[in-house]
Each structure stands twice: as C-alpha cells, then as structure tokens.
Amino acid sequence: MKSSSDTINEKDFMRAYDEYSQAIFRYIFLKISDRERALDLSQETFTRAWESIIQGTHVINMKAFLYRIARNIVIDEYRKKKSESLDALFEEGYDFRDTKAPEVIDQIDGGILLKQLEGLEEKYRDVLMMRYVEDLSIKEIARITGEAENTVSVRIHRAIAKARTLFNQPE
C-alpha cells in the first residue's frame, strides 16, 4: 500500500479497514468458529495495527500486515482455549460453496470438505484456506507466515496433493 518511506495516515487506514475488514473477519471466523469472538478479534486486529502504525511501524503491504496480526491473534486465542469444531460454522449458516476454491474442492459439499480438511496437518490446511478461501497471493501468504515464497508454493502444492488423496481424486 505504501512504501517504507511513507507513513500511513488515518484516511489510508480507514480505507484499508473498509477494504479488508470483512476478509479479516472471515479469516478469523474460519479459524475459531465463534462469530462474536471473531468480531472482537477482528476489531483487535485493526486496533493493534493502528497502534503499531502510530508507534512508527512502516507498512509496505497493508493486507499482509493485517493478516499477520490476525494470524498472531488467532494463535494467542488458541493458546488461551482449544478451538471448537468447525461444525458450528454450518449451524450459523456459513456456506463454503460461495468461496473461491480449487476445482477438487468445488465438487464437494462444504461440510464434508471441512471434515476432510481436518485430516490435513494445520500447516497445509492454513495455506489452502489463505490461498483459496481468502484469495491471498503466494507473496502475501509468505509475508503473513514469515516463510519464503518458495516454501509457501511447495506447501500449497503438497496440500492440494494431500487433499486429493483425502478426497480420492486422481491428479
């Protein structure tokens, strides 16, 4: 959004809020399965981001910056409490068929998909969600996770291969 030599003003931050708040909420909600808590943690994400910016943090990519904060908040939340089952998402009406996903996932009902994805290691499940649900680029995922772009690309490729195995889909 801004180069490291520029500072982000309140107007830029509000524009980023308008642009990314729903996606940040969705990301957190998919991780913790609690709508009210996800709203709180989404707000906390933007509060921490603004506080960090006020303290002089230079933000090169606002989207990646926000996702990294959200990811860290979710990790903190996991440490406080075990995550609940993703079944609660469907009870609250979330429809995964409305999200962007690879063709192997498009063919499967969202509830079955979530159950199957629980069979993947978290590192694989996370990159699939960020890439195909949140529509983040490999570069953005790398910034969020703190890993090299090549590592993220390989992890996505392996996650898709493992998902195909789970879904008994030929490559």
pLDDT in tens, 141-152: 998 888 999 999
pLDDT in tens, 12-58: 899 999 999 999 999 998 888 888 999 999 999 999 999 999 998 88
Choose between 113 and 25: higher pLDDT. 25
Other Cβ atoms within 10 Å of 146 Cβ, number: 9
Q: What's the rounded Cα separation, in Å, for the pair 31 and 33?
A: 6
CATH number at 96-171: 1.10.10.10
78 three-class SS: helix
Residue 132 gets which letter from DSSP?
Answer: I
Domain 1-94 has CATH 1.10.1740.10: yes
First CA to last CA distance, the chain: 38
pLDDT band at 90 (very low <50, low <70, confident <90, very high): low
CA distance 87 to 144: 26
Nearest to 126 by CA among 98, 111, 146: 146
Fold identical between 1-94 and 96-171? no
b vs e for 51-80, b when ≥16 Cβ sit within 10 Å of the residue's Cβ? eebeeeeebebbbbbbbbbbbebbeebeee
pTM: 0.56
Domains of the chain, by residue range, sit at 1-94, 96-171
In this predicted structure, the answer to whether residue 93 has a pLDDT above a threshold of 70 is: no
